[in-house]
Amino acid sequence: MGTSIEIKAADGSGNFTGYLAVPASGSGPGIVLLQEIFGVNATIREIADYYAEEGYVVLAPDLFWRQAPSIELDYTPEDWQRAFGLFQGFDQELGIEDIAAAVETLRSLPECSGTVGALGFCLGARLAYLTACRCDVDAAVGYYGMGIENHLDEAKNIRGALVLHFAEQDEYCPTVAREAIQASLGGQDNIELYLYQGVDHAFARPHSEHYHKPSALMAHQRSVTAFRNAMGPHYDLSALWDKHCEYEFSTRNVDDTMATMVEQPYVNHIPTLTGGVGYRQLYRFYKHHFVDSNPADTTLIPLSRTIGATQIVDETLFCFTHDREIDWLLPGIAPTGKYVEIPLVAIVKFRGDKLYHEHIYWDQASLLVQIGVLDPTGLPVAGHETAVKLLDETWPSNELMHTWGNSAYR
């Protein structure tokens, strides 16, 4: 996806390379991506491509060029040993000068809109912190950095936003180091510090034995939010989602629907495990099991919408007459002719200006009660009342609790 470019060293000692990834739009704010101790390897390039999808022009400079130009290491025991050797021989002061040169190179590119941030992992996280202290960047984000506690006296120089992610079980940044960082940096308006419980170093690297997807997803959302707030780009996620829904439910055009999404999106309807992962499977799902399977009177009544930097949460009433088999919603259930109203929540994630995934939730028990295939007698489930109470908060509460009457006398 990316290309290699030349960066001129500020001390005149030569040029070094950097991996450049550009968003599909062709331009955007810049991010200098700072490597782990394994060089600009496949993992770093994947991260660069990932943030390019988010709308950023990403430059990953080869910070080990003075020792081993263009080195790429894996995570085998042998490569670990070599990586630690390069780390021990790394000249941090020259490294910061090289990062500053990369920042200026990135800012000068026609693809870059002018604002530049820094993002780093492991060694790169400490360098991202120092970049925030010493270089002209608008935002900096670091994942499981080590040695930051030794440079807290420089924090007074931070002018942009700073976000640091820490792993509770990280031996390279133990509790005493985190406490020192928290005591020095905590509580400042432009600094965010996050601790991820029960996870270890490299929890955000998919190929790591310590990879923890929930923490990685949460950290990524926080990171992109910080970059969005400090540098943009700002997308009208509400309009993008509305257009996607228009193609799904109004014009019912599968190709237009898919065009609003990233190259490899996914949809998961949580109660029925229907949807699809990847373009081919999701296209098949939309084409044969969703877009033309919804009843003609299908209506979505919006109740609330929460818009973040990377996602939307929609609360709606989903209304329809069950006049056909709807296999994504009621697989295997023959039409009953019943009219249904169910509360539905959609959590819609974006990468840049494209939908990445949808997580859709509703109460399947309420739906089954409403179409008459589930007898609610003796069960802690409700039918149409779930929709009624969503619009009328005075509708009685607690009627399914057989002990509710007793508590009035206590």
Q: List residues with catalytic annotation.
A: 170, 201
- Residues near 386 by beta carbon (within 8 Å), at least 6 away in sequence: 342, 343, 363, 366
Residue 114 near residue 107, CB atoms below 8 Å: yes
Residue 127 near residue 96, CB atoms below 8 Å: yes
- Residues near 276 by beta carbon (within 8 Å), at least 6 away in sequence: 266, 267, 282, 283, 284, 285, 286
- Which residues in 232-388 belong to E strands, given as ranges? 261-269, 274-277, 299-307, 311-321, 339-351, 354-362
DSSP one-letter code for 408: G
| The token pair that represents 116 in the structure block | 């530049």
Residue 56, CB-side half-sphere exposure with 13 Å CA sphere: 30
CA distance 195 to 47: 21
Between β-strands 139-143 and 161-167, what pairing exists: parallel, antiparallel or unpaired?
Answer: parallel
* Strand arrangement, sheet containing 15-21: 3-8, 15-21, 57-61, 28-34, 112-121, 139-143, 161-167, 191-196
